[in-house]
Amino acid sequence: MHIDLHVILQTPPANFTYALQKGSGSNYTVDQVQHSAGKDLYFDLTIEVKGDDDLPDFKGPYVQGPKGGRFFYLGLGQYAGDHSQSGGRVKVPLTGITRAQVTEAQQTGAVLLTTIQGTAKNGGPAYATPKPFAGWQAKV
């Protein structure tokens, strides 16, 4: 079983390159490379859902981390393939996605959506795990 995810990176600073990281460690490629103009960026991916309990587990080429703590990365700068920039990553948690949300997405064709702030308090790009993290909502 698979579900589709949609990520909105809100107003990241201009002139940075962002991409989904496919793979882990130093063995990865980048997908959906986008250059920020200070407007929202959008990323879409499909992940595999495993398990039958209330808290599903996730797999796939974008998914990393241990069971119960899965996530994927949005890379920026060097981590998005732009070696003219310094680099960092946004760690997007998959925790909090419930079996009910997975079932709803399967039955209605909904995607699970999250919104992440792209600009840090200092005006530069936001890195690491978003705080606070808005979680995931089903959207048809």
Q: What is the rounded CA–CA span in Å between residue 45 and residue 58?
A: 13
Radius of gyration over every alpha carbon of the chain, rounded to an integer in angstroms: 15
Give the type of residue at 68. G
Range of the domain at 33: 2-139
104 burial class (0-12, 13-18, 19+ CB within 10 angstroms)? middle
94 pLDDT band (50/70/90 cuts)?
very high
Number of domains in the chain: 1
CA neighbor of 105 nearest in space, from 116, 95, 115, 97: 97
The model's pLDDT over 19-74, given as tens digits with 9 standing for 90+, comes to 999 998 889 999 999 999 999 999 999 999 998 777 899 999 999 999 999 999 99
pLDDT at 105 over 90: yes
pTM: 0.94
